[in-house]
Structure 1
């Protein structure tokens, strides 16, 4: 996806630490075995854009002041966010809760939201370096602030709220729960409508731990063809799929699959097939696909209301290359559908036990492994600081080795889904050609636009 060539300047104040507004419990809070796995030891960034509410009660109020004060009050309930992560024996992570605070920046941009235009919908965000400054020495996993926030005022009275989060403390759904609380407090609430729950022990390893499943997603020795076909160098490009294209893909399927599969499942299978063809592996080699399956709302797992830790697993299914490439799309789709059925209490307990037994390994990042995650249903639209719903909200930039599905618009204003894809450079060229052939579309610099 091409970035805009628009240039503007941002004036920032010095970063400050925002601490809980009242004294909070001190001590060590253990993260779960799901939280502290190697694959989640990175930072994720999100951004929300708000227009000036000229007809609302917030006219004349300063969003920086409103958010800063509400953030401090919300941290009373979510005090672990104000702590620092430490590592113990066997690489076990915990949060040292001493009310150290989260990093906060006040900023002003010499531009209006109207001048930025549709760029607010782009992934990656073209202006994330301006709207979320990477404070030096702030992005460590251990002993660093868990949150970095920048609120930037625009000349029109609108503003952006950008946040970077240490993924070990929370997933995107847990983060949005926290952001909704900030919004509720900003709008006058005295406490959250949904009280937070720590309870990280629900995803702890059993005693003694026992691995009861084959976890392909953590095996580093599945894809034997890696070394002879590709270097480790990877690049990413973001591809946009309009509703019309998504409907076209759905309509190409047998009627039983058209009516029983989600858009996420269909697009995942479509990309996996296209990606596998582009890899050029031997038909008898194996490839895998995996996606993050949420544990919330499942009766057998019983994640408590208000839980804001990482609550997912990402089972992987395997197939021979030739079957994915040569069979109809329905074959890949049926395999993708099986991923969700593997997510049970026993499965996620087995993942937790694997973390303890095998030293908290990373998920498989080989090129034969296609890992995706769906953020299109994360309710960023509910985050209201007093200026109404955001006009745009979501993840700001791609995460290496994971393709996050996000809602977006293309340059023509069409709504759809954008997906960053990671591949070696030469494979990426083949992937673009394969997409062009499969979709009968024109590709501009990595973004797919309907003819």
Structure 2
């Protein structure tokens, strides 16, 4: 099945050649046309017309040539093995993160791009595997070749102020492709830089820090650990407060016959795609939904008394969105199974004792299954109960069984057919990352629907509304017609409690 996408013509001006890698560090003018915004990019200059909140936003971005930032001191040259959780097919993709920072008078005279770049180089002495490249060996096993080549870094200037992005900074962000420029040749999983970072200075004195991570290297908590290290060194520390630990062997599967999965793993079922449910990416809308205390209370009131206090916010929201999303897709066969994959972390989970400083992927994908008919005819409590039951299956034995399964089956992708994947990053700490300018106004995933198969995933992101109300933002990616049905269903569920932030949720045509 073919995924549709916008193609930007480019002609390389020059190429730097690295080990097994060709990365273009400049390009000729390009033009991108998509619904609701036009980006005209001259050599290292982009003129953007976007939609921010309810009004047009126009600004230009001037980018310096991308550079490689290497560790500030010599680092070991070695091969380091990723875990068997890290290198599964479902994590072989790039994930974008974005952070917005206000102007701080105490930092006047300090250039955020220089501060971040210098601290990054010093951080890579401790986190030197990020300066290497991934290589694939026998059995599709991935290793990090610690070459010390470095990570890609771009500094840029935008003639826009932070306030012009609107009162509520939440995904999808306007002109994201200009705030995190995709350097030609850099987005491959193997033989390419493992991090791409762009720091864009704003006219008001604030700045935007955007990052793209090769997900095989770290999960959300591991990435925040690295970002905090950069922040601590930027603020004057000589070493990170938490020193990194590799130890990827703790999630190493055993080959057959000794390593036979001890549990069923329906997240890796091979499911025929009978209804072509993988949607062309350029036909999707991206929209964020805000759930504050009022909206969450309204949803909780839909549950019977025995579930109201026993259900976590994650379980409540995950079940609600899974059910509403399934109904919005209008399944033609009501007896087909629909899945929700809950990303459950081992960090802080009973029975796990991860080393302090471990930054690898430490989670699994326990999966709940129900038919479209069951989700439509039964109340929200039904979806909540099976989500709760599915999460309860997660344990150390479960994660070890997953590693054995992945080794035995050739590191497959989790099933994406009729599947919704949800990950909670509300406690990951993205907004708390401080490079010297204080906490981020917004920090976290740049959009939903990312992954090898676009559109199947969402994140729960911490958010403070323009009125100061704390809650959770959920970026959702759906076809336009399904998005309208989904929005109406969410509004019906929360009723009169729906907040102003919800009503103002903006959609934008995908440009993945």
TM-score, normalised with respect to structure 2? 0.81
Q: Deviations over 1:395-417 (max 9, x none)?
A: 11221221112234668775533
Residue 187 and residue 421 in structure 1: after superposition, are their counterparts in 2 closer, same or farther (change >3 A)?
A: closer
Q: Secondary structure of the residue that 1:164 maps to in structure 2?
A: strand
- Quick check: 1:241–1:449 contact (8 Å CA) kept in 2? no
Partner of 2:146: 97
Partner of 1:328: 379
Q: Does 1:129 align with 2:160?
A: no
Q: Does 1:16 align with 2:67?
A: yes
Q: Does 1:30 align with 2:81?
A: yes
Partner of 2:197: 149
Q: Deviations over 1:272-329 (max 9, x none)?
A: 2222333335444322211100011234232211100111001102123333222221
Q: How far apart, CA to CA, are the structure 2 residues paired with 1:436 and 1:65?
A: 45
Q: Does 1:63 align with 2:112?
A: yes
Alignment of 1:37-76 (within 5 A): 37-54=88-105, 56=106, 58-76=107-125
Q: Deviations over 1:145-197 (max 9, x none)?
A: 00001111112211111111100111111010001011111111111111110
- Quick check: 1:275–1:431 contact (8 Å CA) kept in 2? yes
Partner of 1:227: 274
Match of 2:351 among 300, 303, 307: 300
- Listed as ranges, the gaps of 5+ residues in structure 2 are 1-35, 37-49, 506-512
- Quick check: 1:242–1:414 contact (8 Å CA) kept in 2? no
Partner of 2:462: 407
Q: Secondary structure of the residue that 1:76 maps to in structure 2?
A: helix
Match of 2:360 among 309, 327, 352: 309
Q: How far apart, CA to CA, are the structure 2 residues paired with 1:236 and 1:413?
A: 27
Q: Secondary structure of the residue that 2:95 maps to in structure 1?
A: strand
Partner of 1:242: 291
Q: Secondary structure of the residue that 2:58 maps to in structure 1?
A: coil
Partner of 2:41: none
Alignment of 1:162-241 (within 5 A): 162-207=210-255, 208-221=258-271, 226-228=273-275, 230=277, 232-233=279-280, 235-241=284-290
- Quick check: 1:46–1:396 contact (8 Å CA) kept in 2? yes
Q: Does 1:337 align with 2:388?
A: yes
User: Which stretch has the larger CA shift, 373-382 or 175-184?
Assistant: 373-382
Q: How far apart, CA to CA, are the structure 2 residues paired with 1:268 and 1:250?
A: 13
Q: How far apart, CA to CA, are the structure 2 residues paired with 1:241 and 1:253?
A: 20
Q: Deviations over 1:334-385 (max 9, x none)?
A: 111122211111111111111111111111111x222111122210132111
User: Which stretch has the larger CA shift, 420-429 or 137-146?
Assistant: 420-429
Partner of 2:402: 351
Q: Secondary structure of the residue that 2:83 maps to in structure 1?
A: coil
Query: For the aligned residues, what is the CA RMSD?
Result: 2.5
Q: Does 1:118 align with 2:173?
A: no
Deviation at 1:252, TM superposition (A): 2.2
- Quick check: 2:298–2:495 contact (8 Å CA) kept in 1? no
Residue 329 and residue 396 in structure 1: after superposition, are their counterparts in 2 closer, same or farther (change >3 A)?
A: same
- Quick check: 1:240–1:410 contact (8 Å CA) kept in 2? no
- Listed as ranges, the gaps of 5+ residues in structure 1 are none
Q: Deviations over 1:425-444 (max 9, x none)?
A: 55444434433433347999
Deviation at 1:40, TM superposition (A): 0.6
Q: Deviations over 1:21-66 (max 9, x none)?
A: 1111111101111110111111111111111211x3x332111111
